[in-house]
Amino acid sequence: MSHEPGADERRIRSLLRDRGVGPDARSAAPGPEITPTRVIPASEWPPLAGTPLPPRPPGADEVPPWRAPAAPPSPPPPPVPPAAGRPWPWPEPPAGGPPLHIRVTVDLVPPEPEPEPPRRWSWAWLTSRIRPWVTLIAAGAALAPMPWTGYSAATTWAATVHNARDFGLPWAYALGLAALGYAVWIEKDTHNQSPLRRRLIGRFLLVITSVGVLGALHFYDPVTLITGVRP
């Protein structure tokens, strides 16, 4: 009974045959003759066996010992001496010409004004605007009845404005508001340092015109302005 070799056995036999091992080894063709050029004794192998190693590896900014150091940088060139003559930026004056006149214009910027402190509520500020004594005297003179008529100046002006309603509502309101605006303009230009006479006149007119505006008013005016119906 014959035994057939398996695949692994045939592969191993083929490798051994190629290497010249076994009874059916193939005869290898003779190769070229190798002639050594140098024979290194075992005591000298490897070639750097006698060279001592450095104590540590080179750093990032160091040159390894097997590299040649770089040449030092060349020195900087010497500074160039300034040219003879007047320094920059003054140019050389023209020979034999008129003298040069140099004018410099400087724009002076004024400093920014300091911000005013925030106003706080105080009785002194209120009394300086109201002027209680001036207001009382002016109101007494404007509301006191006059001897020859029995009516005060404020009520007389209110009656005049009210009679202007007969010419039309716009005329009455225009007359009363125009007089009030004029009194406010005079009062605005009056301050505590103004003469007493001017302060009394301004406050006197303001009281009269304020009462006079009431003479132009009527509770039915909104209905008349919207629908045109009169009472």
In this prediction, residue 15 carries a pLDDT of 79
In this prediction, residue 178 carries a pLDDT of 92
In this prediction, residue 90 carries a pLDDT of 63
Q: Across the 231 residues of the chain, what is the mean pLDDT of every consecutive 10-residue run?
A: 72 77 62 73 62 73 71 82 62 67 81 79 70 86 87 90 87 90 86 78 90 84 78 69
Closest by CA position to 211, among listed 184, 174, 180, 182: 180
151-156, long-range: CB < 8 A, 24+ apart: 153/208, 154/207, 154/208, 154/211, 154/212, 155/211
Question: What is the Cα 207 distance to its own chain's centre?
Answer: 51
pLDDT, tens digit, 9 for 90 and up, residues 67-105: 766 778 888 888 877 666 555 566 666 666 677 778 888
Query: Per the confidence metrics, is the pTM higher than 0.85?
Result: no
How many residues does the structure list for the chain?
231
In this prediction, residue 165 carries a pLDDT of 86
Measured over the CA atoms of residue 48, residue 54, residue 56 and residue 60, the dihedral's sign is negative
